[in-house]
Structure 1
């Protein structure tokens, strides 16, 4: 038969071993967990630094490619504009732009073929316009109704080199069909 003393010693041994396991596990295990966390953090920091470096390299590549595309577009526009130079050189073109829109690209294009740019902010009734007017933006001013429909060209945004070529061709046709008088 098992005595009460034996039960008491068994239960005491179980609780002592449990307490010792908790103490050892807490102190040694906590250090082990801390080391693993630090290794994980260091690894994540390295990956983050690599991602930042890769992101910066991609930004630089994108900037370089954008610069190359812009340069190619300018070269293409210059190449294309040479074909229109004899017909459009010295001709006038009006440009009206909606607030917030940029007209620099078109001004450069028209200047490259030798056209005289007339920036228009409003049309007065006493002025007779004898040249086409390019309207840049979604809206057009009220005074545009005073112009002949065939003298109005509407552009809503950025012009690719192909669209620039088409625009110059349309302006050339306008001048040829009207013999310079719109």
Structure 2
């Protein structure tokens, strides 16, 4: 058997080692920890500064690209007006919307090719032009008329491609109407 004295001495040695470890860790290890945390913080601050700079540069690049897109859209609108002005100038387009207001984009588009835009009210005639119905579904009063000289526009055209397609449809409807008048 191991005498009680050896247990007592080993237990005292453990507590002395623990005390020395706490003492050394609290004094000598403290500077290492501080240096390590300062290094980590400086690295984090540098990464944050780089991210802010990159974010600012990307915002400037986005603004430049948006200006280029706007300039390109203006050029496309000018090309559309050159393409359609001879055929559509002086024609009328009647516009009906559910809320009663004519979308500004449609007005600008039609005016750019020389068309007259008239706000359509129920019961009026659109015999001298084409009716644009800006709505998700055609109204009931229009479905009952069984007239083919109208175009349904589900959404106001917001891109040059959609605007070009709308002008193409308007041109085709006006040509159909002129053709049908010439036959009769």
In structure 2, distance between residues paired with 1:134 and 1:28:
83
Q: Deviations over 1:86-123 (max 9, x none)?
A: 22111111223455x99333222111111111134x41
Secondary structure in structure 2 of the residue aligned to 1:36:
helix
The gaps in structure 1 that reach 5 residues or longer are: none
**8 Å Cα contact 1:132-1:152 kept in structure 2:** yes
Secondary structure in structure 1 of the residue aligned to 2:125:
coil
Displacement of 1:177 in angstroms is 2.2
Structure 1 residues 129 and 3, CA, compared in 2 at 3 Å: closer, same or farther?
A: closer
Q: Name the counterpart of 2:16.
A: 16
Q: Name the counterpart of 2:170.
A: 171
The gaps in structure 2 that reach 5 residues or longer are: none
**8 Å Cα contact 1:90-1:116 kept in structure 2:** yes
By relative contact order (CA 8 Å, sep 6+), the higher-ranking structure is 1
TM superposition score normalised by structure 2: 0.76
**8 Å Cα contact 1:175-1:181 kept in structure 2:** no
Count of residues in Structure 1 that have an aligned counterpart in Structure 2? 177
Displacement of 1:61 in angstroms is 1.4
TM superposition score normalised by structure 1: 0.77
In structure 2, distance between residues paired with 1:146 and 1:10:
104
